[in-house]
A and B are shown apart, each in its own frame.
Chain A
Protein backbone atom coordinates (compact mmCIF):
# COMPACT_ATOMS: atom_id res chain seq x y z
CA UNK A 1 0.00 0.00 0.00
CA UNK A 2 2.66 2.49 1.09
CA UNK A 3 4.94 1.35 -1.70
CA UNK A 4 2.17 1.75 -4.27
CA UNK A 5 1.40 5.20 -2.93
CA UNK A 6 5.07 6.18 -3.05
CA UNK A 7 5.34 4.93 -6.60
CA UNK A 8 2.35 7.06 -7.61
CA UNK A 9 3.34 10.05 -5.50
CA UNK A 10 2.48 12.50 -8.29
CA UNK A 11 -1.11 11.22 -8.55
CA UNK A 12 -1.53 11.15 -4.78
CA UNK A 13 -0.23 14.72 -4.55
CA UNK A 14 -2.74 15.99 -7.11
CA UNK A 15 -5.62 14.27 -5.30
CA UNK A 16 -4.55 15.91 -2.01
CA UNK A 17 -4.22 19.28 -3.75
CA UNK A 18 -7.67 18.83 -5.29
CA UNK A 19 -9.20 18.18 -1.88
CA UNK A 20 -7.44 21.23 -0.35
CA UNK A 21 -8.90 23.38 -3.12
CA UNK A 22 -12.39 21.93 -2.70
CA UNK A 23 -12.16 22.55 1.05
CA UNK A 24 -11.30 26.21 0.43
CA UNK A 25 -14.16 26.64 -2.06
CA UNK A 26 -16.70 25.21 0.36
CA UNK A 27 -15.58 26.74 3.66
CA UNK A 28 -14.14 30.18 2.87
CA UNK A 29 -16.55 33.11 3.03
CA UNK A 30 -14.36 35.62 1.20
CA UNK A 31 -15.15 35.36 -2.52
CA UNK A 32 -11.54 35.87 -3.58
CA UNK A 33 -10.39 33.10 -1.23
CA UNK A 34 -13.20 30.90 -2.56
CA UNK A 35 -11.93 31.51 -6.05
CA UNK A 36 -8.32 30.85 -5.03
CA UNK A 37 -9.54 27.45 -3.86
CA UNK A 38 -10.90 26.88 -7.35
CA UNK A 39 -7.52 27.87 -8.80
CA UNK A 40 -5.84 25.27 -6.57
CA UNK A 41 -8.27 22.64 -7.86
CA UNK A 42 -7.45 23.66 -11.42
CA UNK A 43 -3.73 23.32 -10.73
CA UNK A 44 -4.29 19.88 -9.22
CA UNK A 45 -6.11 18.60 -12.32
CA UNK A 46 -3.52 20.16 -14.64
CA UNK A 47 -0.66 18.59 -12.67
CA UNK A 48 -2.40 15.22 -12.80
CA UNK A 49 -2.82 15.32 -16.58
CA UNK A 50 0.77 16.48 -17.20
CA UNK A 51 1.99 13.69 -14.90
CA UNK A 52 0.19 11.14 -17.11
CA UNK A 53 2.59 11.90 -19.92
CA UNK A 54 5.80 11.57 -17.93
CA UNK A 55 8.02 8.58 -18.67
CA UNK A 56 10.86 7.54 -16.34
CA UNK A 57 14.11 8.88 -17.79
CA UNK A 58 12.22 10.33 -20.75
CA UNK A 59 13.40 13.31 -22.78
CA UNK A 60 11.61 15.99 -24.74
CA UNK A 61 10.60 14.49 -28.10
CA UNK A 62 12.60 16.87 -30.28
CA UNK A 63 13.87 14.95 -33.27
CA UNK A 64 17.47 15.27 -34.47
CA UNK A 65 20.74 13.39 -34.61
CA UNK A 66 21.74 11.58 -31.45
CA UNK A 67 18.29 11.64 -29.81
CA UNK A 68 17.26 8.35 -28.28
CA UNK A 69 13.93 7.16 -26.85
CA UNK A 70 12.29 7.01 -24.32
CA UNK A 71 10.41 10.26 -24.86
CA UNK A 72 7.96 12.14 -22.74
CA UNK A 73 4.43 12.27 -24.19
CA UNK A 74 3.96 15.89 -25.33
CA UNK A 75 0.20 15.66 -25.89
CA UNK A 76 -0.92 16.17 -22.26
CA UNK A 77 1.31 19.23 -22.07
CA UNK A 78 -0.32 20.66 -25.19
CA UNK A 79 -3.76 19.94 -23.70
CA UNK A 80 -2.90 21.66 -20.45
CA UNK A 81 -1.66 24.71 -22.31
CA UNK A 82 -5.25 25.04 -23.56
CA UNK A 83 -6.51 24.27 -20.07
CA UNK A 84 -4.42 27.11 -18.64
CA UNK A 85 -5.91 29.54 -21.14
CA UNK A 86 -9.39 28.44 -20.05
CA UNK A 87 -8.42 28.83 -16.37
CA UNK A 88 -7.03 32.29 -17.09
CA UNK A 89 -10.27 33.46 -18.70
CA UNK A 90 -12.31 31.99 -15.85
CA UNK A 91 -10.11 33.87 -13.37
CA UNK A 92 -10.44 37.14 -15.28
CA UNK A 93 -14.22 36.82 -15.42
CA UNK A 94 -14.53 35.84 -11.75
CA UNK A 95 -12.36 38.72 -10.57
CA UNK A 96 -14.31 41.25 -12.62
CA UNK A 97 -17.55 39.85 -11.17
CA UNK A 98 -16.08 40.23 -7.68
CA UNK A 99 -15.17 43.87 -8.42
CA UNK A 100 -18.74 44.57 -9.49
CA UNK A 101 -20.15 42.80 -6.43
CA UNK A 102 -17.93 44.96 -4.24
CA UNK A 103 -19.04 48.16 -5.98
CA UNK A 104 -22.71 47.28 -5.64
CA UNK A 105 -22.84 45.73 -2.19
CA UNK A 106 -19.72 47.08 -0.50
CA UNK A 107 -18.60 43.65 0.68
CA UNK A 108 -17.24 40.42 -0.77
CA UNK A 109 -17.90 38.20 2.24
CA UNK A 110 -20.47 35.55 1.29
CA UNK A 111 -22.22 35.61 4.69
CA UNK A 112 -22.66 39.40 4.61
CA UNK A 113 -23.85 39.21 1.00
CA UNK A 114 -26.61 36.83 2.00
CA UNK A 115 -27.91 39.51 4.35
CA UNK A 116 -27.83 42.08 1.55
CA UNK A 117 -29.96 39.79 -0.61
Chain B
Protein backbone atom coordinates (compact mmCIF):
# COMPACT_ATOMS: atom_id res chain seq x y z
CA UNK B 1 0.00 0.00 0.00
CA UNK B 2 1.18 3.49 -0.73
CA UNK B 3 1.12 5.86 2.22
CA UNK B 4 -1.48 8.62 2.29
CA UNK B 5 -1.29 11.28 0.91
CA UNK B 6 -0.07 9.99 -2.48
CA UNK B 7 2.67 12.57 -2.78
CA UNK B 8 4.15 11.17 -5.95
CA UNK B 9 0.85 11.61 -7.82
CA UNK B 10 0.26 15.05 -6.28
CA UNK B 11 3.70 16.09 -7.50
CA UNK B 12 2.31 16.00 -11.04
CA UNK B 13 -1.35 16.78 -10.37
CA UNK B 14 -0.69 20.03 -8.44
CA UNK B 15 1.34 21.89 -11.10
CA UNK B 16 -0.73 20.44 -13.96
CA UNK B 17 -4.03 21.60 -12.50
CA UNK B 18 -2.41 24.84 -11.46
CA UNK B 19 -1.21 25.46 -15.02
CA UNK B 20 -4.63 24.85 -16.54
CA UNK B 21 -6.35 27.17 -14.08
CA UNK B 22 -3.78 30.00 -14.39
CA UNK B 23 -5.46 31.81 -17.34
CA UNK B 24 -8.77 31.78 -15.44
CA UNK B 25 -7.18 33.18 -12.29
CA UNK B 26 -5.46 35.97 -14.21
CA UNK B 27 -8.44 36.85 -16.37
CA UNK B 28 -9.26 40.15 -14.67
CA UNK B 29 -5.87 41.13 -13.27
CA UNK B 30 -2.70 39.68 -14.75
CA UNK B 31 -0.68 40.05 -11.55
CA UNK B 32 -2.93 37.48 -9.89
CA UNK B 33 -1.67 34.81 -12.29
CA UNK B 34 1.91 35.60 -11.18
CA UNK B 35 0.98 35.16 -7.52
CA UNK B 36 -1.04 32.05 -8.27
CA UNK B 37 1.73 30.31 -10.25
CA UNK B 38 4.24 31.22 -7.54
CA UNK B 39 1.94 29.60 -4.97
CA UNK B 40 1.56 26.49 -7.12
CA UNK B 41 5.32 26.13 -7.53
CA UNK B 42 5.91 26.64 -3.79
CA UNK B 43 3.40 23.88 -2.99
CA UNK B 44 5.08 21.61 -5.55
CA UNK B 45 8.49 22.40 -4.06
CA UNK B 46 7.31 21.31 -0.60
CA UNK B 47 6.09 17.99 -2.02
CA UNK B 48 9.36 17.56 -3.93
CA UNK B 49 11.42 18.18 -0.78
CA UNK B 50 9.49 15.58 1.19
CA UNK B 51 9.99 13.05 -1.62
CA UNK B 52 13.72 13.72 -1.93
CA UNK B 53 14.19 13.28 1.82
CA UNK B 54 12.21 10.05 1.60
CA UNK B 55 14.30 8.63 -1.24
CA UNK B 56 17.49 9.52 0.63
CA UNK B 57 16.18 7.57 3.64
CA UNK B 58 14.54 4.47 2.14
CA UNK B 59 15.68 4.29 -1.49
CA UNK B 60 13.47 4.14 -4.63
CA UNK B 61 9.71 3.73 -4.31
CA UNK B 62 6.75 3.80 -6.68
CA UNK B 63 3.09 4.76 -6.94
CA UNK B 64 0.41 2.81 -8.79
CA UNK B 65 -1.86 5.13 -10.77
CA UNK B 66 -5.57 4.39 -10.57
CA UNK B 67 -5.12 1.02 -8.89
CA UNK B 68 -3.88 -0.61 -12.10
CA UNK B 69 -0.91 -2.63 -10.92
CA UNK B 70 2.26 -2.57 -13.07
CA UNK B 71 2.84 -3.79 -15.78
CA UNK B 72 -0.80 -3.14 -16.78
CA UNK B 73 -1.16 0.39 -15.49
CA UNK B 74 1.09 3.40 -15.39
CA UNK B 75 3.65 3.33 -12.62
CA UNK B 76 5.27 6.44 -11.18
CA UNK B 77 8.72 5.59 -9.94
CA UNK B 78 10.95 7.81 -7.87
CA UNK B 79 14.67 7.12 -7.58
CA UNK B 80 17.80 9.16 -6.89
CA UNK B 81 18.01 10.37 -10.50
CA UNK B 82 14.43 11.62 -10.08
CA UNK B 83 15.71 13.95 -7.35
CA UNK B 84 16.36 16.37 -10.22
CA UNK B 85 12.77 17.50 -9.46
CA UNK B 86 14.21 19.45 -6.52
CA UNK B 87 16.26 21.56 -8.94
CA UNK B 88 13.30 21.82 -11.32
CA UNK B 89 11.11 23.21 -8.53
CA UNK B 90 13.83 25.57 -7.31
CA UNK B 91 14.56 27.03 -10.74
CA UNK B 92 10.86 27.11 -11.60
CA UNK B 93 10.03 29.11 -8.50
CA UNK B 94 12.89 31.56 -9.03
CA UNK B 95 12.09 31.97 -12.74
CA UNK B 96 8.49 32.82 -11.86
CA UNK B 97 9.65 35.42 -9.34
CA UNK B 98 12.07 36.83 -11.91
CA UNK B 99 9.36 36.94 -14.61
CA UNK B 100 7.18 39.37 -12.68
CA UNK B 101 8.91 42.56 -13.82
CA UNK B 102 10.03 41.08 -17.13
CA UNK B 103 6.52 40.06 -18.20
CA UNK B 104 5.04 43.40 -17.16
CA UNK B 105 7.36 45.15 -19.60
CA UNK B 106 7.69 42.67 -22.46
CA UNK B 107 4.14 41.39 -22.92
CA UNK B 108 0.63 42.72 -23.45
CA UNK B 109 -1.28 42.37 -20.18
CA UNK B 110 -3.91 39.93 -21.44
CA UNK B 111 -1.15 37.53 -22.54
CA UNK B 112 0.70 37.38 -19.22
CA UNK B 113 -1.53 34.66 -17.68
CA UNK B 114 -0.86 32.43 -20.69
CA UNK B 115 2.87 32.94 -20.27
CA UNK B 116 2.69 31.68 -16.68
CA UNK B 117 0.43 28.80 -17.74
CA UNK B 118 3.00 27.71 -20.35
CA UNK B 119 5.82 28.02 -17.83
CA UNK B 120 3.96 25.82 -15.33
CA UNK B 121 3.11 23.28 -18.06
CA UNK B 122 6.75 23.13 -19.04
CA UNK B 123 7.79 22.46 -15.44
CA UNK B 124 5.03 19.85 -15.06
CA UNK B 125 6.30 18.06 -18.15
CA UNK B 126 9.81 17.91 -16.74
CA UNK B 127 8.66 16.73 -13.32
CA UNK B 128 6.54 14.02 -14.94
CA UNK B 129 9.39 13.00 -17.23
CA UNK B 130 11.70 12.57 -14.25
CA UNK B 131 9.36 10.39 -12.18
CA UNK B 132 7.44 8.23 -14.65
CA UNK B 133 8.15 4.52 -14.90
CA UNK B 134 6.26 3.96 -18.12
CA UNK B 135 7.79 4.39 -21.58
CA UNK B 136 4.74 5.84 -23.33
CA UNK B 137 4.04 8.13 -20.40
CA UNK B 138 7.63 9.29 -20.77
CA UNK B 139 6.85 10.26 -24.38
CA UNK B 140 3.68 12.13 -23.37
CA UNK B 141 5.45 14.19 -20.69
CA UNK B 142 8.28 14.84 -23.12
CA UNK B 143 5.79 16.27 -25.60
CA UNK B 144 4.12 18.42 -22.91
CA UNK B 145 7.42 20.01 -22.03
CA UNK B 146 8.63 20.31 -25.63
CA UNK B 147 5.44 21.92 -26.96
CA UNK B 148 5.29 24.47 -24.15
CA UNK B 149 9.01 25.06 -24.69
CA UNK B 150 8.54 25.87 -28.41
CA UNK B 151 5.76 28.30 -27.55
CA UNK B 152 7.81 29.96 -24.77
CA UNK B 153 10.69 30.66 -27.17
CA UNK B 154 8.29 32.55 -29.46
CA UNK B 155 6.93 34.66 -26.59
CA UNK B 156 9.84 37.13 -26.45
CA UNK B 157 8.70 39.17 -29.48
CA UNK B 158 12.22 39.54 -30.93
CA UNK B 159 12.25 39.71 -34.70
CA UNK B 160 13.52 36.19 -35.35
CA UNK B 161 11.85 34.61 -32.29
CA UNK B 162 9.26 32.75 -34.36
CA UNK B 163 11.90 31.44 -36.74
CA UNK B 164 14.02 30.21 -33.81
CA UNK B 165 10.94 28.57 -32.29
CA UNK B 166 10.09 26.91 -35.62
CA UNK B 167 13.60 25.54 -36.02
CA UNK B 168 13.45 24.23 -32.46
CA UNK B 169 10.03 22.71 -33.16
CA UNK B 170 11.19 20.83 -36.27
CA UNK B 171 14.27 19.37 -34.56
CA UNK B 172 12.35 18.63 -31.38
CA UNK B 173 9.48 16.93 -33.20
CA UNK B 174 11.82 14.75 -35.28
CA UNK B 175 13.69 13.62 -32.17
CA UNK B 176 10.40 12.89 -30.38
CA UNK B 177 9.27 10.78 -33.34
CA UNK B 178 12.52 8.82 -33.37
CA UNK B 179 12.08 8.15 -29.66
CA UNK B 180 8.45 7.08 -30.20
CA UNK B 181 9.58 4.71 -32.95
CA UNK B 182 12.08 3.14 -30.54
CA UNK B 183 9.41 2.81 -27.86
CA UNK B 184 7.21 1.06 -30.45
CA UNK B 185 10.00 -1.39 -31.26
CA UNK B 186 10.61 -2.11 -27.57
CA UNK B 187 6.87 -2.74 -27.15
CA UNK B 188 6.85 -5.10 -30.13
CA UNK B 189 9.79 -7.03 -28.63
CA UNK B 190 8.53 -7.29 -25.06
CA UNK B 191 4.79 -6.64 -25.08
CA UNK B 192 5.19 -4.19 -22.23
CA UNK B 193 5.66 -0.48 -21.71
CA UNK B 194 6.62 -0.53 -18.04
CA UNK B 195 10.35 0.17 -17.81
CA UNK B 196 11.07 -2.39 -15.10
CA UNK B 197 9.01 -4.99 -16.95
CA UNK B 198 10.69 -4.24 -20.30
CA UNK B 199 14.06 -4.66 -18.57
CA UNK B 200 13.08 -8.11 -17.36
CA UNK B 201 11.62 -9.33 -20.64
CA UNK B 202 14.30 -8.00 -22.96
CA UNK B 203 16.62 -10.97 -22.50
CA UNK B 204 16.76 -13.19 -25.60
CA UNK B 205 15.33 -10.54 -27.94
CA UNK B 206 16.88 -10.56 -31.44
CA UNK B 207 19.91 -8.32 -31.78
CA UNK B 208 19.05 -6.31 -34.90
CA UNK B 209 15.80 -4.67 -33.71
CA UNK B 210 17.38 -4.08 -30.31
CA UNK B 211 20.26 -2.24 -31.93
CA UNK B 212 17.83 -0.11 -33.94
CA UNK B 213 15.73 0.66 -30.84
CA UNK B 214 18.63 1.67 -28.61
CA UNK B 215 20.36 3.54 -31.41
CA UNK B 216 17.15 5.49 -32.08
CA UNK B 217 16.64 6.26 -28.38
CA UNK B 218 20.21 7.54 -28.09
CA UNK B 219 19.88 9.62 -31.25
CA UNK B 220 16.60 11.14 -30.11
CA UNK B 221 17.84 12.00 -26.64
CA UNK B 222 21.08 13.43 -28.01
CA UNK B 223 19.07 15.85 -30.17
CA UNK B 224 17.10 16.85 -27.07
CA UNK B 225 20.36 17.31 -25.17
CA UNK B 226 21.96 19.24 -28.08
CA UNK B 227 25.15 17.21 -28.45
CA UNK B 228 27.53 18.80 -30.94
CA UNK B 229 26.44 17.99 -34.49
CA UNK B 230 22.80 17.92 -33.40
CA UNK B 231 22.90 21.26 -31.58
CA UNK B 232 21.88 23.60 -34.42
CA UNK B 233 18.51 24.42 -32.90
CA UNK B 234 19.91 25.44 -29.52
CA UNK B 235 21.83 28.74 -29.80
CA UNK B 236 19.04 30.77 -31.43
CA UNK B 237 16.27 29.31 -29.31
CA UNK B 238 18.10 29.81 -26.01
CA UNK B 239 19.47 33.24 -26.85
CA UNK B 240 16.20 34.67 -28.12
CA UNK B 241 13.80 33.28 -25.52
CA UNK B 242 12.86 35.58 -22.59
CA UNK B 243 15.67 35.41 -20.00
CA UNK B 244 13.71 33.48 -17.33
CA UNK B 245 12.73 31.01 -20.05
CA UNK B 246 16.36 30.76 -21.22
CA UNK B 247 17.33 29.82 -17.68
CA UNK B 248 14.72 27.05 -17.67
CA UNK B 249 15.54 25.84 -21.20
CA UNK B 250 19.29 25.86 -20.75
CA UNK B 251 19.33 24.71 -17.14
CA UNK B 252 16.64 22.05 -17.30
CA UNK B 253 15.04 21.27 -20.66
CA UNK B 254 18.27 20.08 -22.30
CA UNK B 255 18.77 17.80 -19.27
CA UNK B 256 15.67 15.89 -20.39
CA UNK B 257 17.91 14.21 -22.94
CA UNK B 258 20.34 13.25 -20.18
CA UNK B 259 17.67 11.88 -17.83
CA UNK B 260 16.25 10.00 -20.81
CA UNK B 261 19.70 8.50 -21.45
CA UNK B 262 19.96 7.45 -17.81
CA UNK B 263 16.62 5.61 -18.20
CA UNK B 264 17.93 3.97 -21.38
CA UNK B 265 21.01 2.82 -19.45
CA UNK B 266 18.81 1.45 -16.69
CA UNK B 267 16.98 -0.70 -19.23
CA UNK B 268 20.08 -1.69 -21.21
CA UNK B 269 22.33 -2.60 -18.28
CA UNK B 270 19.51 -4.05 -16.20
CA UNK B 271 18.45 -6.49 -18.93
CA UNK B 272 21.97 -7.40 -19.96
CA UNK B 273 20.57 -8.01 -23.46
CA UNK B 274 22.16 -4.98 -25.05
CA UNK B 275 25.83 -4.39 -25.64
CA UNK B 276 26.32 -0.68 -25.04
CA UNK B 277 30.07 -0.62 -25.77
CA UNK B 278 29.74 0.80 -29.28
CA UNK B 279 27.15 3.38 -28.23
CA UNK B 280 29.29 4.41 -25.27
CA UNK B 281 32.24 5.02 -27.56
CA UNK B 282 30.02 7.22 -29.74
CA UNK B 283 28.83 9.11 -26.66
CA UNK B 284 32.39 9.71 -25.42
CA UNK B 285 33.40 11.21 -28.76
CA UNK B 286 30.18 13.20 -29.02
CA UNK B 287 30.86 14.54 -25.53
CA UNK B 288 34.46 15.47 -26.28
CA UNK B 289 33.42 17.14 -29.57
CA UNK B 290 30.64 19.06 -27.85
CA UNK B 291 33.00 20.33 -25.14
CA UNK B 292 35.56 21.63 -27.58
CA UNK B 293 33.25 22.90 -30.33
CA UNK B 294 30.78 24.53 -27.92
CA UNK B 295 33.63 26.38 -26.22
CA UNK B 296 35.18 27.24 -29.59
CA UNK B 297 31.98 28.86 -30.90
CA UNK B 298 31.36 30.64 -27.60
CA UNK B 299 34.70 32.45 -27.79
CA UNK B 300 33.56 34.32 -30.91
CA UNK B 301 30.19 35.46 -29.59
CA UNK B 302 29.62 39.07 -28.63
CA UNK B 303 25.98 38.63 -27.65
CA UNK B 304 26.03 37.60 -23.99
CA UNK B 305 23.05 35.23 -24.18
CA UNK B 306 24.40 33.63 -27.38
CA UNK B 307 27.67 32.98 -25.55
CA UNK B 308 25.85 31.38 -22.63
CA UNK B 309 23.86 29.22 -25.07
CA UNK B 310 27.05 27.85 -26.66
CA UNK B 311 28.50 27.30 -23.21
CA UNK B 312 25.51 25.03 -22.50
CA UNK B 313 26.61 22.83 -25.41
CA UNK B 314 30.07 22.33 -23.92
CA UNK B 315 28.68 21.61 -20.48
CA UNK B 316 26.24 19.07 -21.90
CA UNK B 317 29.34 17.60 -23.53
CA UNK B 318 30.88 17.01 -20.10
CA UNK B 319 27.74 15.19 -18.97
CA UNK B 320 27.49 13.06 -22.12
CA UNK B 321 31.17 12.14 -21.88
CA UNK B 322 30.69 11.18 -18.22
CA UNK B 323 27.82 8.88 -19.20
CA UNK B 324 29.72 7.34 -22.10
CA UNK B 325 32.71 6.47 -19.91
CA UNK B 326 30.45 4.00 -18.06
CA UNK B 327 32.73 4.08 -15.03
CA UNK B 328 31.33 4.84 -11.59
CA UNK B 329 33.25 8.11 -11.11
CA UNK B 330 32.28 9.37 -14.56
CA UNK B 331 28.62 8.47 -14.06
CA UNK B 332 28.47 10.10 -10.61
CA UNK B 333 30.18 13.24 -11.92
CA UNK B 334 27.79 13.41 -14.87
CA UNK B 335 24.67 12.93 -12.73
CA UNK B 336 25.75 15.61 -10.25
CA UNK B 337 26.65 17.97 -13.07
CA UNK B 338 23.01 17.72 -14.20
CA UNK B 339 22.08 19.43 -10.90
CA UNK B 340 25.04 21.80 -10.66
CA UNK B 341 25.00 22.99 -14.24
CA UNK B 342 21.29 23.75 -13.89
CA UNK B 343 22.02 26.03 -10.94
CA UNK B 344 25.09 27.67 -12.49
CA UNK B 345 23.51 28.28 -15.89
CA UNK B 346 20.36 29.68 -14.29
CA UNK B 347 22.55 32.11 -12.32
CA UNK B 348 24.21 33.26 -15.50
CA UNK B 349 21.07 33.53 -17.63
CA UNK B 350 19.02 35.29 -14.96
CA UNK B 351 21.95 37.61 -14.23
CA UNK B 352 22.35 38.36 -17.94
CA UNK B 353 18.58 38.87 -18.12
CA UNK B 354 18.78 41.45 -15.32
CA UNK B 355 21.60 43.28 -17.14
CA UNK B 356 19.65 43.33 -20.40
CA UNK B 357 16.49 44.42 -18.58
CA UNK B 358 18.21 47.39 -16.92
CA UNK B 359 20.47 48.52 -19.74
CA UNK B 360 18.61 47.42 -22.86
CA UNK B 361 21.92 46.22 -24.33
CA UNK B 362 22.99 42.63 -24.92
CA UNK B 363 26.49 42.58 -26.41
CA UNK B 364 29.69 42.48 -24.39
CA UNK B 365 30.96 45.56 -26.24
CA UNK B 366 27.95 47.62 -25.21
CA UNK B 367 27.86 46.23 -21.67
CA UNK B 368 31.49 47.16 -20.92
CA UNK B 369 31.84 48.83 -17.53
CA UNK B 370 28.42 47.72 -16.27
CA UNK B 371 30.08 46.19 -13.20
CA UNK B 372 30.34 49.63 -11.62
CA UNK B 373 26.66 50.38 -12.13
CA UNK B 374 25.14 47.04 -11.12
CA UNK B 375 27.67 45.61 -8.63
CA UNK B 376 25.47 42.90 -7.10
CA UNK B 377 24.23 41.40 -10.36
CA UNK B 378 27.68 41.39 -11.91
CA UNK B 379 29.19 39.89 -8.76
CA UNK B 380 26.63 37.06 -8.98
CA UNK B 381 27.44 36.54 -12.67
CA UNK B 382 31.14 36.40 -11.80
CA UNK B 383 30.48 33.71 -9.20
CA UNK B 384 28.55 31.80 -11.88
CA UNK B 385 31.41 32.23 -14.35
CA UNK B 386 33.98 30.95 -11.86
CA UNK B 387 31.74 27.97 -11.12
CA UNK B 388 31.23 27.03 -14.74
CA UNK B 389 34.94 27.14 -15.46
CA UNK B 390 35.34 24.70 -12.58
CA UNK B 391 37.67 26.54 -10.24
CA UNK B 392 37.47 25.16 -6.70
CA UNK B 393 35.67 25.69 -4.31
CA UNK B 394 32.65 26.16 -6.59
CA UNK B 395 29.95 23.81 -7.81
CA UNK B 396 31.48 23.19 -11.24
CA UNK B 397 34.76 21.84 -9.89
CA UNK B 398 33.48 18.74 -8.13
CA UNK B 399 31.69 17.27 -11.16
CA UNK B 400 34.44 17.99 -13.66
CA UNK B 401 37.00 16.50 -11.31
CA UNK B 402 34.89 13.35 -10.98
CA UNK B 403 34.38 13.08 -14.74
CA UNK B 404 38.14 13.44 -15.27
CA UNK B 405 38.73 10.74 -12.65
CA UNK B 406 36.15 8.62 -14.45
CA UNK B 407 38.05 8.99 -17.73
CA UNK B 408 41.24 7.74 -16.09
CA UNK B 409 39.32 4.98 -14.31
CA UNK B 410 37.80 3.78 -17.59
CA UNK B 411 41.24 3.72 -19.20
CA UNK B 412 40.70 6.71 -21.52
CA UNK B 413 43.08 9.38 -20.19
CA UNK B 414 42.80 11.11 -23.59
CA UNK B 415 39.28 12.20 -22.70
CA UNK B 416 40.47 13.68 -19.41
CA UNK B 417 42.81 15.74 -21.56
CA UNK B 418 39.90 16.87 -23.78
CA UNK B 419 38.09 17.90 -20.61
CA UNK B 420 40.94 20.04 -19.33
CA UNK B 421 41.45 21.54 -22.79
CA UNK B 422 37.75 22.44 -22.94
CA UNK B 423 37.90 23.98 -19.47
CA UNK B 424 40.75 26.23 -20.64
CA UNK B 425 38.67 27.42 -23.59
CA UNK B 426 35.73 28.07 -21.28
CA UNK B 427 38.07 29.99 -18.98
CA UNK B 428 39.06 32.26 -21.88
CA UNK B 429 35.59 33.42 -22.77
CA UNK B 430 34.31 33.83 -19.25
CA UNK B 431 37.38 35.85 -18.35
CA UNK B 432 36.64 37.96 -21.42
CA UNK B 433 33.12 38.56 -20.10
CA UNK B 434 34.13 39.42 -16.54
CA UNK B 435 36.92 41.62 -17.87
CA UNK B 436 34.48 43.55 -20.05
CA UNK B 437 32.08 44.09 -17.15
CA UNK B 438 34.68 45.40 -14.71
CA UNK B 439 37.75 46.70 -16.45
CA UNK B 440 36.98 47.84 -19.99
CA UNK B 441 36.19 51.49 -20.74
CA UNK B 442 32.44 51.86 -21.20
CA UNK B 443 31.58 52.58 -24.82
CA UNK B 444 28.65 54.72 -23.76
CA UNK B 445 29.12 56.56 -20.42
CA UNK B 446 25.33 56.38 -19.91
CA UNK B 447 25.81 52.79 -18.79
CA UNK B 448 27.31 54.03 -15.52
CA UNK B 449 24.02 55.81 -14.75
CA UNK B 450 22.06 52.53 -14.81
CA UNK B 451 20.64 51.47 -11.44
CA UNK B 452 20.81 48.06 -9.80
CA UNK B 453 18.18 45.48 -10.85
CA UNK B 454 14.83 45.46 -8.97
CA UNK B 455 14.57 43.15 -5.96
CA UNK B 456 12.37 40.59 -7.72
CA UNK B 457 15.24 40.02 -10.18
CA UNK B 458 18.20 40.51 -7.89
CA UNK B 459 17.09 38.15 -5.13
CA UNK B 460 16.72 35.02 -7.37
CA UNK B 461 20.13 35.73 -8.93
CA UNK B 462 21.79 36.13 -5.52
CA UNK B 463 20.13 32.98 -4.16
CA UNK B 464 21.42 31.00 -7.14
CA UNK B 465 24.90 32.50 -6.91
CA UNK B 466 25.18 31.56 -3.24
CA UNK B 467 23.97 28.06 -4.14
CA UNK B 468 26.86 27.83 -6.64
CA UNK B 469 29.22 28.33 -3.71
CA UNK B 470 27.30 26.13 -1.28
CA UNK B 471 27.14 23.23 -3.77
CA UNK B 472 30.91 23.58 -4.17
CA UNK B 473 31.78 23.68 -0.48
CA UNK B 474 29.35 20.87 0.37
CA UNK B 475 30.13 19.01 -2.85
CA UNK B 476 30.23 15.62 -1.16
CA UNK B 477 26.52 15.70 -0.22
CA UNK B 478 25.08 15.32 -3.75
CA UNK B 479 27.89 12.90 -4.62
CA UNK B 480 27.08 10.52 -1.81
CA UNK B 481 23.36 11.02 -2.50
CA UNK B 482 23.58 9.88 -6.12
CA UNK B 483 26.14 7.13 -5.51
CA UNK B 484 23.72 4.29 -4.58
CA UNK B 485 21.76 4.85 -7.81
CA UNK B 486 24.92 4.72 -9.92
CA UNK B 487 26.18 1.61 -8.13
CA UNK B 488 22.81 -0.07 -8.77
CA UNK B 489 22.97 0.99 -12.40
CA UNK B 490 26.49 -0.33 -12.97
CA UNK B 491 26.06 -3.48 -10.87
CA UNK B 492 25.41 -5.75 -13.91
CA UNK B 493 28.74 -4.57 -15.35
CA UNK B 494 30.56 -5.89 -12.32
CA UNK B 495 30.18 -2.83 -10.14
CA UNK B 496 31.92 -0.46 -12.58
Residues of A bordering B, CB below 8 Å: 18, 22, 25, 31, 34-35, 38, 41-42, 45, 48-49, 52, 76, 79, 82-83, 86, 89-90, 93-94, 97-98, 100-101, 104-105, 113, 116-117
Contact = CB atoms under 8 A, between A and B. Distances in A.
A38 B170 contact: yes
A86 B154 contact: no
A90 B173 contact: yes
A79 B162 contact: no
Contacts of B154: 97, 100
B80 interface: no
B221 to A, nearest CB: 16
Given A100-B162, A101-B166, A90 B174 contact: no
A116 B181 CA distance: 36
Nearest to A86: B143
A25 B140 contact: no
A97 B174 contact: no
A93 B184 contact: no
B143 A48 contact: no
Given A52-B188, A97-B169, 18 more contacts: A22-B174, A25-B170, A34-B170, A38-B177, A41-B174, A41-B177, A45-B177, A45-B181, A48-B181, A76-B187, A79-B136, A83-B180, A86-B140, A86-B143, A94-B169, A97-B162, A97-B166, A104-B159
Nearest to B181: A45
Contact of A49 (B166, B170, B187): B187
Interface residues of B, number: 24
Interface in B170-226: 170, 173-174, 177, 180-181, 184, 187-188
Given A79-B136, A93-B151, A113 B163 contact: yes
B474 interface: no
A38 B174 contact: yes
Nearest to B159: A104
B184 A52 contact: yes
B136 A93 contact: no
B114 to A, nearest CB: 13
Given A82-B136, A83-B180, A93 B162 contact: no
Interface string B134-175: 001001100100010011001000011011011001100110
Nearest to B153: A97
Contact of B162 (A82, A89, A101): A101
Nearest to A50: B184
B173 A38 contact: yes
Contacts of B140: 82, 86
Contacts of A18: 181
B147 A45 contact: no
A90 B136 CA distance: 17
A114 to B, nearest CB: 9
13 contacts: A25-B170, A25-B174, A38-B174, A38-B177, A42-B177, A45-B180, A49-B187, A52-B184, A79-B136, A89-B143, A97-B150, A97-B165, A104-B159
Contacts of B163: 101, 105, 113, 117
Interface string B365-399: 00000000000000000000000000000000000
Q: Quick one: which of B140, B159, B170, B184 has the most chain A CB within 10 A?
A: B184
A1 B170 CA distance: 35
Contacts of B159: 104
A112 to B, nearest CB: 11
B147 A90 contact: yes
Closest 10 CB pairs of A and B: A49-B184, A52-B188, A86-B143, A101-B162, A100-B162, A97-B166, A45-B181, A97-B162, A45-B177, A45-B180
For B150, B151, B162, the residue with the greatest tally of chain A CB atoms inside 10 Å of its CB is B162
Contacts of B151: 93
Contacts of B139: 83
B181 A89 contact: no
B235 to A, nearest CB: 13
Contacts of A45: 177, 180-181, 184
Nearest to B184: A49
